[in-house]
């Protein structure tokens, strides 16, 4: 399956939505690299990019929260920190064990957590930014 920012996942904030698109794109590339049996180097590259992009994206969201004095900043940031660790762990597992049913399942599970975060928390954030 491929991840995409469907209508129901749009937050209405142009920066956040475009970064979510790039993020899903990075996940798709990593999954392609794994499922197409691409070399270790390409898996490493796509995995490193995903980790780095998630870091940048969360930082950008946190900056938007500070600028707009978002009241849920602390809990949102806490989620981001935990999530970065969770993702880094899954990606490491994937780099170590390669394309196994378990690691791909874990990656999908991790993306599902992000999708649900976008659907609730990021939409809430975008509404706040629009009103402030
Ligand atoms: Fe977020």
Residues surrounding ion ligand 1 at CB below 5 Å: 61, 122
In sequence order, which residues have a C-beta less than 8 Å from that of residue 42 and are 6 or more positions away?
33
For residue 38, the CA-to-ligand 1 centroid distance in Å is: 31
CATH number given to 13-131 = 1.20.120.50
Average pLDDT taken over every residue of the chain: 94
Query: CA–CA separation, 78 vs 69, rounded Å?
Result: 16
Tens digit of pLDDT for each residue in 27-79?
999 998 888 877 788 888 999 999 999 999 999 999 999 999 999 999 999 99
pLDDT at 2: 92
Which of 52, 66, 44, 65 shows the shortest CA–CA distance to 19? 52
For residue 1, the CA-to-ligand 1 centroid distance in Å is: 23
The rounded percent of the chain whose pLDDT value lies above 90 is 77
Q: Where are the domains of the chain?
A: 13-131
For residue 36, the CA-to-ligand 1 centroid distance in Å is: 30
For residue 78, the CA-to-ligand 1 centroid distance in Å is: 10
**What is the three-class DSSP state of 53?**
helix
Q: Please check whether residue 61 is in contact with residue 122, taking contact to mean a CB–CB distance below 8 angstroms.
A: yes
pLDDT at 43: 85
């Amino acid at each position: 399956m491929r991840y995409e920012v469907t209508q129901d996942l749009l937050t209405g904030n142009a920066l956040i939505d475009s970064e979510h698109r790039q993020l899903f794109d990075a996940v798709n590339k990593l999954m392609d690299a794994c499922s197409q049996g691409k070399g270790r180097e390409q898996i490493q590259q796509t995995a490193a990019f995903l980790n780095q992009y998630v870091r940048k994206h969360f930082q950008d969201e946190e900056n938007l929260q500070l600028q707009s004095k978002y009241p849920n900043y602390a809990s949102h940031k806490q989620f981001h920190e935990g999530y970065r660790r969770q993702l880094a762990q899954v990606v490491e597992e994937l780099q170590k064990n390669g394309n196994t049913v378990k690691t791909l399942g874990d990656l999908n599970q991790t993306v599902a957590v992000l999708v649900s975060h976008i659907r609730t928390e990021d939409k809430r954030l975008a509404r706040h930014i629009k009103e402030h």
